Amino acid sequence: MSLPEPVAATAIEAPDATSDKLGVRGLARARGFRRLVLSRVPAQWGDGFFQAALGGAVLFNPERQADPLAVAAGLAVMLLPYSLIGPFAGTLLDRWDRRRVLLVANLVRGVLILAVAAEVAAGVSGPPLYLGALVVVGVSRFVGSGLSAALPHVVEPRHLVEANVVASTAGAASAAIGGAMAIGLRTLIGEGDTGSGITTAIAILGSLAAAVAAAGFARGALGPDGAGPKHHPAAVLRGWVDGARAVLARPTVTGAFCAIGAHRLAFGMSTLLSLLLFRYSFHDMGPLRAGLAGVGQVVVAAGAGLGAAALLTPWLTHRLGRATTIRVGLVVAAAMQGTVACVVTLPVVLVGAFVLSTAGQVVKLCADAAIQQETADDARGRVFSVYDALFNTCYVLAVTVAALASPPDGNSPWLLGCAAVVYLLGLLGHDLQLRRKPSSAGVVSA
């Protein structure tokens, strides 16, 4: 299924009271969409499981010591390199059969997870461990871009917001469940190197299940459309430029990038500070726990926020339109972040995890729909790869700044307040972009 030409931003942003809604049951009856979700859910479950297991092995392992800069360095090594090459890889998503990409990439990721698990069990640390994690995360991001680019091939354009709500929320919730399961299993199996290695290896189950689901698609069913040359070195090298041009051509897409970039900057700062608070500053408060168990409770609260976003986003976009929904999400996030800055306690941080997860997911769902609905299929892989690069780069940049500026225990109200200001700056950037006229320049196919 190919998308029509992008419509004017004014038509996209207006609430449409007459648009029909499929709902979860209607989407579930669409065979292609159902199978795509069946591939996405275990893949993201494995991502969440792997990252939580690895994070626990590095930050909460009694056999290892990690300061804020070490955590930031680990995140940078794992996320930044792929963010730089992602748009070039996105060119391949616009030329290779995406069904084959999902199948092969998931199998490769499974093998790499076992290799990293062996490193953890052997007590490997520093650059060798980060390099292995880098490759796993890079393949995961490649799979994620392929899943997002394939969605318009299994859902009609008018149902993309609903489909994004179901697919993204199911995937993100499964990642949160995977993270919580990894934390729980690591407690049972053991918190040292051997236990952490065994826990990390279990993440392979997600990759294998995702590969089986992807194998059920017919060849070419997920795109890309068109019959251009499948391999062209110059086209791969132009990935960054073509992806950026496609983003800048649509003000609504550029505005969505501003919003999601602000969220990831603020969320990155909050994430590092929260980890340090639970590791070094907070103490148990009745049923509320500090340490790694407390991080597990934060993951559960954030997962609940994803579920709330799944309910709120269709209702908000139906009544307010996509642009206003993004504004609401950013304002709510800024208010909650400011509250956490004023009252840095364990209960408030847990509530903040729920609210910020809800608001951030609302913004992300709207951003995903903007890209899928307003970029052509032969450029969508590159655009999603640029989007992924922004997503990770902003996060790592924020984590790094927080690591450099934060006290060792993470108790830094002024940094949390800065995160609230970042949300407001994202709101300003989003609105300024919506006032810009769309560019007539398109992406040059190669």
Give the range among 196-210, 217-231, 271-285, 381-395 with minimum mean pLDDT: 217-231
Whole-number average pLDDT of the chain: 81
- Do 12 and 374 contact (CB within 8 A), yes or no? yes
Is residue 7 included in any domain, yes or no? no
Instruction: Indicate the SS3 state at residue 226.
Output: coil
* pLDDT at 364 > cutoff 80: yes
Percent of the chain with pLDDT over 90: 34
444 within a domain of the structure (yes/no):
no
268 and 226 fall within a common domain? no
Q: Which domain holds residue 147?
A: 23-242
Residue 177 lies in a domain: yes
The dihedral sign for the CA sequence 36, 37, 42, 44: positive
Does 111 map to a domain? yes
- Note the pLDDT tens digit of each residue in 143-155: 887 887 788 888 8
Whether 205 is in a domain gets the answer yes
Query: CA-based Rg of the chain, rounded to a whole angstrom?
Result: 21
**Is 270 a member of any domain?**
yes
Q: Are residues 186 and 283 in the same domain?
A: no
* CA–CA dist 251, 253 (Å, integer): 5
| CA geometry: angle 99, 103, 106, nearest 5 deg | 135
| H helices present in 343-412, as ranges | 346-374, 377-405
Ramachandran area for residue 123 (φ above 0: left; ψ -120 to 50: alpha; else beta): left
Q: Pick from 242, 263, 284: which residue ends a domain?
A: 242
Rounded to whole angstroms, the Cα distance separating 226 from 66 reads 49
pLDDT at 13 over 70: no
> Which residue in 283, 417, 262, 271 sits closest to 340, CA to CA?
417
Handedness of CA 106, 204, 212, 152 (dihedral sign): negative
Is residue 216 in a domain?
yes
Distance CA 152, CA 118 (A): 38
Task: Say yes or no: 133 and 201 in one domain.
Answer: yes
Most confident stretch, 205-209, 300-304, 308-312: 205-209
Which residues are paired to 288 by β-bridges?
Answer: 285
Domain count, the chain: 2
Question: Angle, to 10 degrees, between the axis of helix 322-342 and the axis of helix 251-276?
Answer: 20
Q: Are residues 104 and 48 in the same domain?
A: yes
Verify that 190 and 304 share a domain, yes or no: no
Q: Helical H runs in 60-97?
A: 68-93
The pLDDT tens digits for 137-180 are: 778 877 887 887 788 888 887 777 778 778 877 888 898 899 88
Shared domain for 35 and 132, answered yes or no, is yes
Residue 253 has a pLDDT of 87
Give pLDDT, residue 134.
Answer: 77
Residues 172 and 282 in one domain: no
Q: What is the pTM of this model?
A: 0.70
Q: What is the pLDDT of residue 2?
A: 30
> Is there a single domain that holds both residue 235 and residue 303?
no
31-84, pLDDT tens digit by residue? 889 999 999 999 999 998 998 888 777 666 655 555 667 666 666 655 555 555
Residues forming beta bridges with residue 313, ordered by sequence position: none
Chosen domain end from 242, 275, 306: 242
Residue 260 shares a structural domain with residue 198: no
Q: What is the pLDDT, as a whole number, of residue 148? A: 79
The lowest-confidence range among 35-49, 212-226, 229-243 is 229-243
Domain co-membership, 134 together with 212: yes
What angle separates helix 291-320 from helix 322-342, to the nearest 10 degrees? 150
- pLDDT for res 226: 60
pLDDT at residue 375, as a whole number: 77
pLDDT score recorded for residue 12 = 30
pLDDT of residue 400: 84
* 187 and 273 within one domain: no
Query: Do residues 176 and 294 share a domain?
Result: no
**Domain boundary, last residue among 218, 242, 266:** 242
Structure confidence by residue, pLDDT tens digits, 262-302: 999 999 899 889 988 988 889 999 899 888 788 889 988 98
Residue 235 domain flag = yes
Q: What is the CATH number of the domain that holds 432?
A: 1.20.1250.20
